[in-house]
Structure 1
């Protein structure tokens, strides 16, 4: 019996201070001043739980740990939940779409 889809993509708003990080800035040469900076990820957990884990330093991305502000559910909640392979593809697609819209984007 196939498992129910339970993977999620999520987007976390990062403080603009992340733009001072050389590694982040190098990966976002098309960043448009004033646009949000975000982290895009995928998880088998609820996005709220995953965000809390990032902020607690549990399997955390360094940029989210230091600069993470809040989840941006308007950018992802219509997609969730989905199968693992779908989530992996959607994570990349969201990152590409946001980066092409001038966002600063980080994906692990």
Structure 2
């Protein structure tokens, strides 16, 4: 779904009429720690539907939308999915954390 000026977007994966996953393209994170934009955010796949390529398809759809809007670099934060994103061509830019939580800032040039 694309609304507003068509830049920010929400992608929803469905199996039949059942929504099973989502991913967002947003200009800003809720509490930005960096002066970067835009962001891939909110990637979630229902646990019952994981390991079927749904998350990969959602990321690729988000990247393609970003590329079609002229985005040169896309960013994301992840706590535990660094290997997943790395396999899709994302690069770790920075690791930070507090209270034992390690967060990775990752970036990638989006492709159509």
In the superposition, the TM-score normalised over structure 2's length comes to 0.31
Higher RCO (Cα < 8 Å, 6 or more apart) = 1
If each structure's strand is expressed as a fraction of its own residues, which one has the higher value?
2
If each structure's helix is expressed as a fraction of its own residues, which one has the higher value?
1
